[in-house]
Structure 1
Amino acid sequence: MSGAKTAALPNRDAALRGLYDDVARSNMFPFWATSSDVDNDEIKQLMGTKKAVPHMWDYGKDIEPLLNRAAELIKMDDSERRSLILINPGLAPRRATVSTMYTAYRLNDPDEIMPPHKHSPSAIRFGLTGKGNFTGVEGENIVFGPGDMVLTPNDTWHNHGTVGGEPAVNLSVLDLPLVETLSAIHFDHNYAELEDGKMVKKKEQSSRYPSDYSQRVYGEGGMLPRFVDHKRGSGLSSPMYVYRWERMEELLDRHKDWDGDPYESLMIEYVDPTTGQPVFKTITFFAQMLRPGEKTLPLRQTASLLVAPFRGKGYSIVDGQRFDWKEFDTLAVPGGAWCEHVNGSDKDPVFFFVASDEPTLKALALYKKWGRDKAGDMVRLV
């Protein structure tokens, strides 16, 4: 039927409404974008899905008090987990801090140890308070403190808790929203070990590696032992399971007088020592240092970031919004947002712990990066 005859149909608006209702009931979406009806503007609807927004969570004001209240009310007998997941207001009620990742804060009471489990999402733990954060990963029992990062890779047995008689707080970053979107989620809590030829269920992992294994085998850059198995666990991630803050801070301090990058200042990526690639195939992590009084130029990228100030205070401007932060807060920087950071001190450096879905964007040929120079002109960086 011609366009002229279609336009001349009687009760066309009613017929269109009926068409749209029937399309929706059939679990379809009309995409021809010819209607002037606001309710059926297909382009706006297609582009109008929920998106992450810039947002900051305040550790001292909100996160820490809620963790302490939860520790009083929720015990390990009630649940094997006691974490607060940061929900982006633009994505609620979905459990996501940005579209592909979430951050969770965890407080363990003294000497709490949960049973082992494993899952398809990749995760890390980053120590905030206390010296006795504990994570056992595939038989390597790791005790970690502030600034240390511990991997719990895809499909690798691990458990969490504290040792040493004092509470401890750490934050987690997982690619669970991404894995969930891909319908690839699985969890397993039925841990067992081989004893006398039979699989026996266990509530704790037996220690199979020295507690300093990661540092002993992988702690010297550029030198890799040939006499060990580098495919530990599932073999899907870096075999180095703990990255110590002391070495990271030393490396950053060693370069404090370098020019650095105008958009990222001094930024160091945590990598798989056997390949030089990110520790996971989906998400990657950085430590970032801003020297006293330093300000980065505006940066925009397709990757989403979770920025956790670990030391120092200052502010960031994300898509025109100012966020004043201090240590242990978390700032969500969605992909596509302009972002710049300012160290508020003229004496002390700022250290960020940063998570990014950059590896996923690169694998899909979707990673792009832009900046604004000092004159305010936009330049393509990647």
Structure 2
Amino acid sequence: MNAPHPAAALRQQLYSDMSPFNLTPLWEVLHALVPPQPSSPCVPALWKYEQVRPFLMRAGDAITAEEAVRRVLVLENPALRGQSSITQSLYAGLQLILPGEVAPSHRHVQSALRFIVEGSGAYTAVDGERTTMQPGDFIITPSWTFHDHGSEAGGPVVWLDGLDIPIVRFLDAGFAENDTRKSQTVARAEGTSLARFGSNMAPVRHEAPFGATSPIFSYPYERSRDALQKLERDAPVDAWDGVKLRYINPLTGGSPMPTMATFMQRLPAGFDGKPWRQTDGAVFSVVEGQGEVLIEHGAQSQRFEFGPRDHFVIPSWHTARFKSAAGCVLFSFSDRPVHQALGIHHEERLS
């Protein structure tokens, strides 16, 4: 048996001797720390709503909204079980509220979005203003604003929650506070924020009410859908995205939230898209219609067929390609603003 090479023995002794001083050799991990290209531990995943919904309804029997504070089933990435994350930087879950319930008021540093999946007539209140939820609406809960949810609907209402919980956790910057009230006092009429800031106009003298977050906290689906339909009819259809629009903060032109970007896109009937990949992992909610997405990474390939209210995730630097025979509408969100702020965002549109 050959003796270990002298250099190898010296190295191992060095590692052993310096370990108690909390020192480790960079050269043993350099290639993992600085990889030649992104190598996310996350995997693509699809949540079929017909499979998820029965568990949501069972949760409604098992615990009240007030007991749970937020009755949510977390969409966990299969490769990140136990971390309450759909990607390494994003959280997603499906929240249920039943007729007459109130999810009590609280606030937290984490920014949140709500995308309404099923039912009408529930509401969310932010900073003294309520907005009634309708399917396809995109609603923001800005960082550190009191918010509560309630329902005056005749049946269950379900929405997608998207938060930057993993980002805030990584930065050790999280704070939270319960309100002394179960529900906020409504101080402004519904639609006030949209009237002030949602018509390419703004009050002459104002300050941004939510700091870096959009002053509009409810973006109705009917407006988004109308814009997509007009562009599909009158403008060129993009070979990669179909007709895709991004929601904006009207005061800045940037993303509605400092950590999350949101998008709505229409894939026309017969769409057979070209492949693309990007460094921001994205979470999708199917608003209407059917389609499929092919997701590839290295030698791995997965094809998801999706329909209304299904959800799926495309991790960072995974190549994706959309098809839709009948046409469909997709909502999505990602951590793109963080990438852009750090100057590290990268995307490729492949042929």
TM over 0.5: same fold?
yes
- Tell me the matched-pair count: 341
| Alpha-carbon distance in 1 for matches of 2:125, 2:139 | 10
Q: Which runs of 5+ in 1 are unaligned?
A: 1-5, 34-40, 192-200, 374-382
User: Does 2:272 match 1:283?
Assistant: no
Q: Which amino acid aligns with 2:141?
A: T
The 5-angstrom pairing of residues 320-331 of structure 1 reads 320-331=301-312
The match for 1:188 among 156, 169, 177 is 177
Q: Which amino acid aligns with 1:324?
A: E
Q: Which amino acid aligns with 2:339?
A: L
1:256-302, Cα deviation, whole Å (9 max, x unpaired)? 13212221111111111122111011111000100001022100111
TM-score scaled by structure 2?
Answer: 0.90
The match for 2:25 among 18, 23, 30 is 30
Mark the CA change 1:22 to 1:119 in structure 2 (over 3 Å): closer, same or farther. farther
TM-score scaled by structure 1?
Answer: 0.83
For 1:358, the equivalent position in structure 2 comes to 336
The match for 2:6 among 8, 12, 19 is 8
Q: Which runs of 5+ in 2 are unaligned?
A: none
Q: Which amino acid aligns with 1:362?
A: Q
**8 Å CA contact 1:31, 1:43 repeated in 2:** no
For 2:183, the equivalent position in structure 1 comes to 204
> After the TM superposition, which parts of structure 1 deviate over 4 Å for at least 4 consecutive aligned residues?
15-28, 44-50
Measured after TM superposition, the shift of residue 60 of structure 1 is: 0.9
For 1:196, the equivalent position in structure 2 comes to none
Q: Which amino acid aligns with 1:295?
A: D
Query: Per the alignment, in what secondary structure is the counterpart of residue 335 of structure 1?
Result: coil
Measured after TM superposition, the shift of residue 32 of structure 1 is: 1.9
- Structure number with bigger Rg: 1
Query: Per the alignment, in what secondary structure is the counterpart of residue 363 of structure 1?
Result: helix
**8 Å CA contact 1:23, 1:30 repeated in 2:** no
For 1:308, the equivalent position in structure 2 comes to 285
The match for 1:108 among 91, 97, 115 is 97
Q: Which amino acid aligns with 1:156?
A: T
The 5-angstrom pairing of residues 131-142 of structure 1 reads 131-142=120-131
Q: Which gives a bigger RCO, structure 1 or 2 (Cα 8 Å, sep 6+)?
A: 2
Q: Which amino acid aligns with 1:239?
A: P
Q: Which amino acid aligns with 1:354?
A: S
User: Does 2:333 match 1:344?
Assistant: no
1:319-375, Cα deviation, whole Å (9 max, x unpaired)? 131111111111111111111111132xxx3000010111110100101111212xx
For 1:56, the equivalent position in structure 2 comes to 46
Query: Per the alignment, in what secondary structure is the counterpart of residue 67 of structure 2?
Result: coil
| Alpha-carbon distance in 1 for matches of 2:176, 2:238 | 40
Q: Which amino acid aligns with 1:243?
A: Y
The 5-angstrom pairing of residues 128-207 of structure 1 reads 128-189=117-178, 191=179, 201-207=180-186
Task: Calculate percent identity across the aligned residue pairs.
Answer: 29
For 2:194, the equivalent position in structure 1 comes to 215
**8 Å CA contact 2:66, 2:101 repeated in 1:** no
**8 Å CA contact 1:307, 1:331 repeated in 2:** yes
**8 Å CA contact 1:230, 1:239 repeated in 2:** no
| Alpha-carbon distance in 1 for matches of 2:311, 2:336 | 18
CA RMSD of aligned residues (A): 2.3
| Alpha-carbon distance in 2 for matches of 1:162, 1:102 | 24
**8 Å CA contact 2:66, 2:103 repeated in 1:** no
| Alpha-carbon distance in 1 for matches of 2:82, 2:25 | 26
